[in-house]
Amino acid sequence: AEVSCTFATDFEPSLYTVKAVLILDNDGNRLLSKYYDTELYPSIKEQKNFEKSVFNKSHKADNEIAFLEGLTIVYKSSVDLFFYVVGSAQENELMLMMVLNCLFDTLSQILRKNVEKRYLLDNLDGVYLVVDEIIDGGIILESDPQQVIQKVNYRTVSEPAYGFVLFDYITGNTEGQGDKSQNV
């Protein structure tokens, strides 16, 4: 049951809008990346090269939009995180911007405005679910942050528990389940 993305080579009208979504840290390391166009960068090596050149081009100045390797890239940064949405050269830049804003605003609410690497990693499951609700196989599924939050219905790991959560990870401790009781 292989789902093959039908990104048109010429500009045929299609719902396939987003070619990739990336979240990198401030050293350019990949925290999350989804390539929806399977033909774009088929191997991990090519993907990481692309991410490197995107990061090098964007991390110094917060310019919001760039054109690289024949692709339109809109981006946004917050503290130590960089968010990117990639589309074809012909894609409507504002549509890509809608996706980026939706992703950013939703995560900002879920992480209670702490859009930083450590909070993001603490709530990585929530981040996966958010991305999954915004884009499905390159198609924009939802662009309204409120709708996304409602659909994901995610309970954030609260801040004070952070150290314990990590500790649990490592020691395999099963205690302390009450940490996550706080709802958004």
Partner 1 sequence: MRHSCMLLLCWQSDISGAPNTPGLSQYDIYNLVICCSQARIFNETPINPRRCLHILTKIIYLLNQGEHFGTTEATEAFFAMTRLFQSNDQTLRRMCYLTIKEMANISEDVIIVTSSLTKDMTGKEDVYRGPAIRALCRITDTTMLQAIERYMKQAIVDKVPSVSSSALVSSLHMVRMSYDVVKRWVNEAQEAASSDNIMVQYHALGLLYHLRKNDRLAVSKMLNKFTKSGLKSPFAYCMLIRIASRLLEETEGGHDSPLFDFIESCLRNKHEMVVYEAASAIVHMPNCTARELAPAVSVLQLFCSSPKAALRYAAVRTLNKVAMKHPSAVTACNLDLENLITDSNRSIATLAITTLLKTGSESSVDRLMKQISSFVSEISDEFKVVVVQAISALCQKYPRKHSVMMNFLSNMLRDDGGFEYKRAIVDCIISIIEENPESKETGLAHLCEFIEDCEHTVLATKILHLLGREGPRTPSPSKYIRFIFNRVVLESEAVRAAAVSALAKFGAQNDDLLPSVLVLMQRCMMDSDDEVRDRATFYMNVLQQKQKALNAAYIFNGLSVSVPGLEKSLHQYTLEPSEKPFDMKTVPLATTTVSEQKTELAPVASSKLPEKLAPSRQDIYQEQLAAIPEFQGLGPLFKSSEPVQLTEAETEYVVRCIKHTFASHMVFQFDCTNTLNDQLLQKVVVQMEPSEAYEIVQYVPAASLPYSQPGSCYSLVRLPEDDPTAVSCTFSCTMKYLVRDCDPNTGEPDDDGYDDEYVLEDLEVTVADHIQKVLKPNFAAAWEEVGDEFEKEETFALASVRTLEEAVNNIVSFLGMQPCERSDKVPENKNSHILFLAGKALRLFVWASCNIVICVMP
Contact positions with partner 1 (CB under 8 A) in 5-64: 5-6, 11-15, 25, 29-30, 32-34, 44, 47-48, 57, 61, 63-64
Nearest distance from C-beta of residue 78 to partner 1, angstroms: 16
H helices of 6-86, in order, are 44-58
Q: How far is the CB of 118 from partner 1 (least distance, A)?
A: 5
Instruction: Please list, residue by residue across 27-63, b when 16 or more beta carbons sit within 10 angstroms of its beta carbon and e when fewer do.
Output: ebeebebbbbbeebbeeeeebeebbeebbebbeeeee
* By the rule CB under 8 A, 67 interacts with partner 1: yes
Nearest approach in angstroms of CB 120 to partner 1 is 11
Q: Which of 29, 25, 78, 22 is nearest to 52 (CA)?
A: 29
Tokens 């942050």 found at: 145
Q: Which of residues 101-130 bind partner 1 (CB under 8 A)?
A: 117-118, 121, 124-126, 128-129
CB nearer to partner 1: give 69 or 108: 69
Tell me how far apart the alpha carbons of residues 175 and 182 are, in angstroms, rounded to a whole number: 17
Q: How far is the CB of 113 from partner 1 (least distance, A)?
A: 19
